Chain A
């Protein structure tokens, strides 16, 4: 693909030149940044001085946020790794997540019919995780093989559009198979209630989500840093052509990336289903968008970035409306939770175009 020749811009006149020397863009950025931070600080100050929220409430909000963020984090890792290796956004990742949830749903129903879910919840959750992972991995690998591999060397926009098409296709396939009603997901009764950890009562479901997610991220970090496959993934992410010259089977590495992304999505799906108790064909859409946002926020292509982005997003969604808006007497503050998510995203991208952990270089999709 030859790039089109860019037109040479007309030479700036002297006045424009002087204006250009004045750092207008930087100044506007700074003003916006200061205004937002000041507004947030004022809102937070007003809320805290009102004193409606108890300390326990703030603590709960943070824990809920972390648990939600942990799910975003697991999905975000899938976006981020595929982007790192292939430089493409796999918009169908939310549907990989959804199929994982459905896979485990059918197993969960069988387990529930035999009473296993309540009699041995730990074993059941392990089985559900495996079922979720198997389904998600199958869909992710199929997706790579059918929809993305033939387009590996096509211009960047092509796989992007294909991904959106694949996403719609998978959503409607699930709708056709399973109907569009959300279904109740059987959850162990022992998952209700809370455990007291370090003197803080935390919902059992939140504890499980956080523990599983952190374990998965730790395992992934170890895998990418220490194993041979991990090393070859990093090599492919750096430069596909050189990596293949060095004897790395790029196709295998790409499949491996989708497998890992699928596993994480499958685990996230089971956690999501256990927390919310619902599965449906469109359940992947919103978490997918949020996780994508988290990946961009943290710095797409970076594992630590996806993790941090997911957590920040989750906590902001949970704490943001209460902290910044209650004091300003804005009615129905929780309606505006997405405003925080995207304001923070815009702010981060203005000041660090590559995301929090990114390289700082703007990347074109």
Chain B
């Protein structure tokens, strides 16, 4: 009988892997705490300890596959460049953080709740993960990844979650923060652009049921109606990935009946591209302007919509570094182009800042042990990030407020581009309209 022989092999292997897992866990969780102000054995969520020379493990939870991979990969490249820049220069060689190399564990948020659940669970179950940069899409974070990781004391810092709910006082998870702008700001700028600059008083909105898109259309409605405009029709659709149809012509025909001057569709691709393309075919929508958002604004939009992309307005954050970092932004953009080619979405600088804001906090709270290992207490790290004040980042001078928005305290600069002159399509394009307002301004008037 041969059966027992492989059975034995499997058993031995299984036993070995259990032992290995046990060792790994001990290495990650326990140990540590050699002579700092913090006692790692008593403090809540403990410390993460890395042996001498062992890499600090950082997770990313970004949309790196599927139709919005342009967004996630772009942010992932931003994180890679941040690690590259740890040594103070963009040379393609990774630098070190508190004397340790940094190792990334890249997970996929699939731009959905399910992806946030799967990737979040995986990262949360790994005690050696120090913090996580993510997610790309608000739907993956809100109540899913932010909770899974927060329950383990792991920081989740997002480069591109913009849904207002994530940092609303009643929904904010204490371990969640972001360097992306709050959508209350973007909605306000879009509303100002449409009402003041274009002089339109009637607009219709389409969202894709995600917290991101629904948040933007909802915010837009509030601001637009306050200004004196009317939202003639609020439509919604199911995404194609979620089993919806590619045919938007009936939906657009319904909208056309309410005679808007502009249609606002802050969604993702390919839906943005399909809406732009099919709206051009609807005779009753002749002369009606189209306005998308930073979700639409990806290189795929221009490929998929073709000529129909021309004339579509797209809003996006504009990195507005202070005087001390404006040279760095140029270097960053050059390094990005060098290492990864054309940028595919507008959030790579936010990802760079997200990593660096936490890295700066790590430097403050890390406890160097006598054996060359380093211990980082989780709660102290989180508190240090929240104390970030006037951090000179690429996207602006950042200050983190208690609800997790790490943004320029003076203002966030949002631009509106007129396709095809959009940076993700033609690098170096200039916005046709831009406004810098603070979160308080936006929320105060909303």
In the complex, A96 Cα to B247 Cα: how many Å? 21
Beyond contacts A68-B247, A194-B283, A318-B250: 13 other A-B pairs, Cβ-Cβ < 8 A, are: A64-B249, A181-B70, A182-B269, A184-B306, A203-B281, A276-B247, A278-B273, A282-B240, A289-B243, A322-B250, A332-B237, A337-B245, A337-B250
Tally of B interface residues using CB under 8 Å: 42
The residue among A184, A194, A338 with the most chain B CB atoms within 10 A of its own CB is A184
In the complex, A189 Cα to B246 Cα: how many Å? 20
Residues of B contacting A60 with CB < 8 Å? 249, 253, 282, 284
Residue A124, interface by CB 8 Å: no
Our pick among A201, A331, A333, A338 for the contact of B283 (Cβ within 8 Å) is: A201
Tell whether, in the assembled complex, residue B245 and residue A183 are in contact, meaning their CB atoms are under 8 Å apart. Answer: no
Tell whether, in the assembled complex, residue A334 and residue B246 are in contact, meaning their CB atoms are under 8 Å apart. Answer: no
In the complex, A192 Cα to B258 Cα: how many Å? 24
In the complex, A53 Cα to B263 Cα: how many Å? 18
List A residues at the B interface (Cβ < 8 Å).
52-54, 56-57, 60-61, 64-65, 68, 180-184, 186-187, 189, 192-194, 201, 203, 205, 272, 276-278, 280, 282-283, 285-286, 289-290, 317-319, 321-322, 326, 331-335, 337-338
Residue B241, interface by CB 8 Å: yes
Interface window among B10-18, B297-305, B322-330, B416-424: B297-305
Tell whether, in the assembled complex, residue A182 and residue B250 are in contact, meaning their CB atoms are under 8 Å apart. Answer: no
Residues of B contacting A203 with CB < 8 Å? 281
- B 223-279 contacts with A by CB, 8 A: 234-238, 240-241, 243-247, 249-251, 253-254, 256-258, 269-270, 273-274, 277
In the complex, A205 Cα to B277 Cα: how many Å? 13
In the complex, A183 Cα to B245 Cα: how many Å? 17
Residues of B contacting A189 with CB < 8 Å? 307
Residue B280, interface by CB 8 Å: yes
In the complex, A277 Cα to B301 Cα: how many Å? 12
Which residue of chain B has the shortest Cβ distance to A332 in the bound complex? B236
If A56-B284, A182-B300, A286-B244 touch, whether A338 touches B238 (CB-CB below 8 Å) is: yes
Tell whether, in the assembled complex, residue B281 and residue A192 are in contact, meaning their CB atoms are under 8 Å apart. Answer: yes
Tell whether, in the assembled complex, residue A61 and residue B253 are in contact, meaning their CB atoms are under 8 Å apart. Answer: yes
In the complex, A331 Cα to B243 Cα: how many Å? 20
- B 39-70 contacts with A by CB, 8 A: 65-67, 69-70
If A52-B258, A203-B281, A289-B243 touch, whether A184 touches B250 (CB-CB below 8 Å) is: no
Which residue of chain A has the shortest Cβ distance to B207 in the bound complex? A332
In the complex, A52 Cα to B253 Cα: how many Å? 11
If A334-B237, A338-B238 touch, whether A180 touches B243 (CB-CB below 8 Å) is: no
In the complex, A98 Cα to B443 Cα: how many Å? 46
List B residues at the A interface (Cβ < 8 Å).
65-67, 69-70, 209, 234-238, 240-241, 243-247, 249-251, 253-254, 256-258, 269-270, 273-274, 277, 280-284, 300, 303-307
In the complex, A64 Cα to B252 Cα: how many Å? 11
Which residue of chain A has the shortest Cβ distance to B247 in the bound complex? A68
In the complex, A226 Cα to B72 Cα: how many Å? 56
8 A-B residue pairs with Cβ-Cβ distance under 8 Å, sorted by A, are A180-B69, A277-B273, A278-B273, A286-B246, A331-B236, A332-B236, A332-B237, A334-B251
Tell whether, in the assembled complex, residue B67 and residue A180 are in contact, meaning their CB atoms are under 8 Å apart. Answer: yes
Task: In the A-B complex, list the 5 residue pairs whose CB atoms are closest, starting with the nearest.
Answer: A332-B236, A334-B251, A318-B250, A184-B303, A64-B249
Our pick among A64, A201, A334 for the contact of B235 (Cβ within 8 Å) is: A334
In the complex, A189 Cα to B303 Cα: how many Å? 15
Which residue of chain B has the shortest Cβ distance to A331 in the bound complex? B234
Chain B min CB distance to A126 (Å): 22
Our pick among B236, B256, B258, B304 for the contact of A335 (Cβ within 8 Å) is: B236
Tell whether, in the assembled complex, residue A53 and residue B70 are in contact, meaning their CB atoms are under 8 Å apart. Answer: no
Our pick among B243, B246, B280 for the contact of A276 (Cβ within 8 Å) is: B246
Residues of A contacting B284 with CB < 8 Å? 56-57, 60
Chain A min CB distance to B244 (Å): 7
Residues of B contacting A283 with CB < 8 Å? 246
Our pick among B241, B250, B282, B283 for the contact of A321 (Cβ within 8 Å) is: B250
In the complex, A322 Cα to B238 Cα: how many Å? 16
